[in-house]
Amino acid sequence: MRITIFGSGYVGLVTGACLADAGNHVVCVDVDPAKIERLNKGDIPIHEPGLEDVIRRNQAKGRLEFTLDAAAAVAQGLFQIIAVGTPPGEDGSADLQYVLSVATTIATHMTDYKVVVTKSTVPVGTADNVRAAMQRRLAARALSIEFDVVSNPEFLKEGAAINDFMRPDRVIVGTDNPRVTELVRALYEPFTRNHDRLVVMDIRSSELTKYAANAMLATKISFMNEMANLAERLGADIEKVRIGIGSDPRIGYGFIYPGVGYGGSCFPKDVQALEQSGRAVGYESKILAAVEGVNARQKLVLFEKIKAHFAGKLKGRTFALWGLSFKPNTDDMRAAPSRVLMEALWAEGASVRAYDPIAMPEVRRLYGERDDLTLVDSMEAALEGAEALAIVTEWQEFRSPDFDTIRAKLKQPVIFDGRNLYDPSLMNRFGFTYYGIGRGAPRPGGPAKVGAPAGG
């Protein structure tokens, strides 16, 4: 098949690369000349495991192209996939200007039948708006050309997106035309051969399914963080509670890990957008508001533990941070809990020495050069001159560190573990004062003695 994808960001690149790898001819369109130039040189602007190999392999075979030429791209593809951003507006609603701009562009250049696929995460009713925008443009051209609009939301996890696309749990298709269902089925057939995973429904239900899925996962995270905060005050261990409730198949183990809150490009934006969609039709979602509120509060939990341990005296102190991206296996810093922690420490006059396996270039782009931020090239280097260690992202290499080295390098043997990577009893035997999330009071002997900061 011949496929055109508008948008060369995360969703567009993964979708284009995987569809090309199945033998299709794919053209990705973008309006950013610098991005297209980078992609045509084989320079991938995002970090996603396996993506670079898939893109380069299909570029070499001539199945994957990147262009600024929207007219040529529209002409070549039966499928016109919209995968542009839908950033949140000031009120939290999804901004559809880029989606509707692409719809108008397609209608401007099309000369024959097209299947227009909205893969961007969009509010319910967007397909109707896309159809209306295209009809207006075709009317302005005095043309009557048949087309169909399909909702086909993506369900890609950052860090595992290639596998998610190649081996999908489900492929949601929203359409009002049975003929289109068969076309989309053929498009995804290489990825669903051993089991038909197409779930076909009306367009509005498909659009809501994406938001509902992300809101449910965000709800599980916020609920577990709420239970962790309660467990800490009741003297229970949330990790034992997690195992106890996760063994119930009605609940399961997915997304019930307590921590420092969710981040990234999807959950924060989508919960807000769904909440705003409710308001637009006169419905106030109390659960969604609570999910968002709990998450905002949870991102400050690690800072509050640090501030309490040092009796509010943070000025002049340096803290080591392990992990900056919002989750492992990505360099995405959007809404990352590490940003909230660093900015809170800086506001108190503290400095940060930070290490992340992938995300440090993105941190430099966001914050530039500043005296209170030192980015280092190893876990151990982050510990140099630091009062204590804070763990924010659960990268694999942080799970079994050399605790003797940590204790020797830190000024105080104190660990603030925002991802519950370590066992409190083991930390006690190693002589650390250990703060987890929902794991009871720190040990041994409560907070270590608080002295003046170095040079203070």
Residues with a known catalytic role? 266
Closest CA to 387 of 406, 372, 371: 406
- CA-CA-CA-CA torsion sign (173, 177, 181, 183): negative
DSSP, residue by residue, 217-270: HHHHHHHHHHHHHHHHHHT--HHHHHHHHHTSTTT-STT---SS---SSSHHHH
Q: What CA–CA distance (Å, rounded) separates 256 from 248?
A: 12
Residue 141 has, within 13 A of its CA and on its CB side, a CA count of: 16
The amino acid that residue 289 corresponds to is: A
Between strands 198-201 and 318-322, the pairing is: unpaired
Q: Dihedrals φ, ψ of 369, to 5°?
A: -90, 130
CA distances from 255 to 94, 223, 268, 334 (A): 25, 10, 15, 19
Q: What CA–CA distance (Å, rounded) separates 8 from 20?
A: 14
Cα angle for residues 77, 83, 85 (degrees, 5° grid): 150
DSSP, residue by residue, 343-393: HHHHHTT-EEEEE-SS-HHHHHHHH-S-TTEEE-SSHHHHHTT-SEEEE-S
Q: Dihedrals φ, ψ of 183, to 5°?
A: -65, -45
Q: Are 386 and 454 in contact (CB under 8 A)?
A: no
Which residue, chain included where needed, has tokens 């605790």? 403
Q: What CA–CA distance (Å, rounded) separates 280 from 217?
A: 23
CB atoms within 10 A of CB 418: 29
2, containing H or E segment: strand 2-6
Angle between helices 267-280 and 203-234 (to 10 degrees): 120
